[in-house]
Structure 1
Amino acid sequence: MNAEFVAVFVGSSIRFAAPLMLASTGELISERAGVLNMSVEGMMLSGAFLGAAGAWATGNAALGLAIGMLVVLPIALLQAFLSVTLRANQIVTGIGINILALGATTLAYRELFGERSSAVIPGLARWSPPGLGAIPVIGEPVFHQVWLVYLGLAILLATSLVMRRTALGVALHAVGAAPRSVDQSGLSVTRLRYGAVLFSGVMSGAAGCFISIGDIHTFTEGMTGGAGYLAIAAIIFGNWKIGRTVGACLLFGAASALQFQLPLIGVHVPTALLVMLPYLLALIAVAGLIGRQTAPLALTQPFRR
């Protein structure tokens, strides 16, 4: 196993982990605020379609990204309304939205592009940080990524600082642990939770756009393939901490990259086993086999004044 192979493997792992990191950044805030946004998968799929359709219609991938992120907001608003205002079961409503998104994007895709279309859609450009892309062997495969990867990392760092060092971060932590105390302090539990779910929607839309116009440059039916559920599992794997969640996303990304990298070095493993590996790791995380999990105390619990 030479250095070039390792560099390509690391670069592929980052590429596969990127949409998970984008989605889990938003979902982590939502869960910290007490709302389990199970509709991440549907939001990602909607973002992937809307971003691809926007890029195709305008001929500009950046505009497609903006469309994919913003037009997902009504779906996030619906999830927040059902979960926070109507106090409906967050798991059931999330899965329902996922099913609705799968059907709606499939229908819209067939109407817009045709049932067997393979139209090439304008994609987001790749970029390397100054100096890093010129490093021998590792520069090109590791650091030459879609610029949305670096924007996502910047948002991730900003989110971490907000959660750790600002009054808003303290309020979001508190509303997911003791919402009644937050209400008695004069802050609005409803507004905080709505804002957290909407942020989750925007980040999920960006994650979907990364898959369609950042990586593949086309849209296919159901192309997220459960990535939204993996993003939720990464948060559980990371014990609701940002740093550990990123590590879990990278682990899932590496597991996905193996199915393409192992055959290149002559290691023959059943394809089905490699495809299921990220989901097997997710199952281990959800089952609690990697240690004790400490979820926010009020997660999934509706608040009544």
Structure 2
Amino acid sequence: MSMELLAIFAASSIRLAAPLMIASAGELISERAGVLNMSVEGMMLTGAFLGVAGASMTGSAEWGLLIGVLGVIPLALLQAFLSVTLRANQIVTGIGINILALGATTLAYREMFGARSNAVIPGLDKWSPPLLRDIPFLGTEVLNQVWLFYPGLLVLLLCAVVMRRTALGISLNAVGVSPRAVDQSGLSVTRLRYGAVIFSGMMAAAAGCLLSIGNIHTFTEGMTNGMGYLAIAAIIFGNWKTGRTALACLLFGAASALQFQLPLLGIEVPTALLIMLPYLLALIAVAGLIGRQTAPAALTQPYQR
């Protein structure tokens, strides 16, 4: 494989992994706090649509990003209300919100754009680190990503530090292991879990905006195509650890990039098999075939005083 093809493959892997990494950063916080936010798929899709709608109305991709991230908060509050306050089944409510988001974004997209579905939407610019951008292949291809990827990576690193080194992180970890002990200490289990779910929703929306106004500068119906579920699978694959989860996202991104790379190498592999590969890896992760998985003890378990 030539250096050029290797650089293209690496750049594609990062580009396809970036939304997963951003979404999984928020979802990891939610799950460590004891709430399985299965609606991350719907929140990604909602953020993708609101980002495009905001960019179209304001003429600015940055305003579209802000609208997309903030606009998903009501949906995150709904998920938190159902899961934490009403203590409903987290898997069922999450899937229900995903179906709601798919229908709502499809209807809103058709009503808003209609015949203008091919309208040009402002997009987020690409950026590469100043000291590396002039390096052939590395700076010009591999690291030349939509700028939102870099703040997302920074947030992922900050999440790791917060969860390991701060009182807030210790509290979030504790509420996912023993919510009764947290409650007896005087902290609010409800507030901690609400905050974790809202943060998860905002990160999922940012990941959706990266897909729509970052990568393709438009919105298509159901464009997340299961990426929210892959983000959840990456957390299981990474055994609820930040670094391992990020590596799992890169693995899924590389598996997705193969469907574009192998034809360039003249390797004939059925397209359907390549499309299926990331989901097959996700299935292996969920099945526990890569080792013992240790989920937070109170994950999916509602708490009542």
How does the TM-score come out when normalised to structure 2? 0.99
- C-alpha distance in structure 1 between counterparts of 2:170 and 2:263, whole Å: 48
Is 1:112 the counterpart of 2:131? The answer is no
Check the 8 A contact 1:22/1:206 in 2, yes or no.
yes
- C-alpha distance in structure 1 between counterparts of 2:80 and 2:136, whole Å: 48
Q: How does 1:99-178 map to 2 (within 5 A)?
A: 99-114=99-114, 117-178=117-178
Is 1:301 the counterpart of 2:301? The answer is yes
Q: Which residue of the partner structure matches residue 57 of structure 1?
A: 57
- C-alpha distance in structure 1 between counterparts of 2:282 and 2:301, whole Å: 24
Q: Secondary structure at the match of 1:134?
A: coil
- C-alpha distance in structure 2 between counterparts of 1:294 and 1:42, whole Å: 26
In structure 2, the gaps of 5 or more residues are none
- C-alpha distance in structure 2 between counterparts of 1:211 and 1:186, whole Å: 41
- C-alpha distance in structure 1 between counterparts of 2:243 and 2:143, whole Å: 20
Q: Secondary structure at the match of 2:133?
A: helix
Is 1:79 the counterpart of 2:99? The answer is no
Amino acid at match of 1:58: T
Q: Secondary structure at the match of 2:34?
A: coil
Amino acid at match of 1:117: S
Structure 1 position 293, deviation (Å): 0.1
Q: Which residue of the partner structure matches residue 218 of structure 1?
A: 218
Structure 1 position 115, deviation (Å): 6.4
Q: How does 1:130-279 map to 2 (within 5 A)?
A: 130-279=130-279
- C-alpha distance in structure 2 between counterparts of 1:209 and 1:22, whole Å: 11
Check the 8 A contact 1:7/1:137 in 2, yes or no.
yes
Amino acid at match of 1:7: A
Check the 8 A contact 2:237/2:245 in 1, yes or no.
yes
Amino acid at match of 1:138: L
Of 61-70 and 259-268, more deviation after overlay is shown by 259-268
- C-alpha distance in structure 2 between counterparts of 1:58 and 1:299, whole Å: 40
Amino acid at match of 2:274: L
Structure 1 position 251, deviation (Å): 0.3
Check the 8 A contact 2:129/2:139 in 1, yes or no.
no
Structure 1 position 247, deviation (Å): 0.3
Structure 1 position 200, deviation (Å): 0.1
Structure 1 position 118, deviation (Å): 2.3
Q: Secondary structure at the match of 2:222?
A: coil
Structure 1 position 116, deviation (Å): 7.9
Summarize deviations over 1:172-214 as a string: whole Å, max 9, x none.
0000000000000000000000000000000000000000000
Summarize deviations over 1:262-285 as a string: whole Å, max 9, x none.
111111111000001000000000
- C-alpha distance in structure 2 between counterparts of 1:253 and 1:27, whole Å: 18
Q: Which residue of the partner structure matches residue 2 of structure 2?
A: 2
- C-alpha distance in structure 2 between counterparts of 1:111 and 1:236, whole Å: 38
- C-alpha distance in structure 1 between counterparts of 2:280 and 2:120, whole Å: 33
**What percent of counterpart residues are identical?**
77
Check the 8 A contact 1:128/1:145 in 2, yes or no.
yes
Count of paired positions: 305
- C-alpha distance in structure 2 between counterparts of 1:199 and 1:243, whole Å: 19
- C-alpha distance in structure 1 between counterparts of 2:263 and 2:162, whole Å: 43
- C-alpha distance in structure 1 between counterparts of 2:130 and 2:9, whole Å: 22
- C-alpha distance in structure 2 between counterparts of 1:36 and 1:136, whole Å: 43
Check the 8 A contact 1:125/1:147 in 2, yes or no.
yes
- C-alpha distance in structure 1 between counterparts of 2:216 and 2:22, whole Å: 17
Amino acid at match of 2:92: V
Instruction: List 4+ stretches of structure 1 deviating above 6 A.
Output: none
Check the 8 A contact 1:20/1:207 in 2, yes or no.
yes
Check the 8 A contact 1:4/1:138 in 2, yes or no.
no
Check the 8 A contact 1:177/1:296 in 2, yes or no.
yes
Summarize deviations over 1:205-240 as a string: whole Å, max 9, x none.
000000000001000000000000000000000000
Amino acid at match of 2:24: S
- C-alpha distance in structure 2 between counterparts of 1:140 and 1:273, whole Å: 31
Is 1:37 the counterpart of 2:53? The answer is no
- C-alpha distance in structure 2 between counterparts of 1:132 and 1:238, whole Å: 29
Q: Which residue of the partner structure matches residue 48 of structure 1?
A: 48
Check the 8 A contact 2:51/2:65 in 1, yes or no.
yes
Q: Secondary structure at the match of 1:17?
A: helix
Structure 1 position 114, deviation (Å): 1.2
In structure 1, the gaps of 5 or more residues are none
Task: Kindly report the root-mean-square deviation, in angstroms, between the aligned alpha carbons of the 2 structures.
Answer: 0.8
Q: Secondary structure at the match of 1:18?
A: helix
Check the 8 A contact 1:109/1:115 in 2, yes or no.
no
Check the 8 A contact 1:230/1:282 in 2, yes or no.
yes
Amino acid at match of 1:57: M
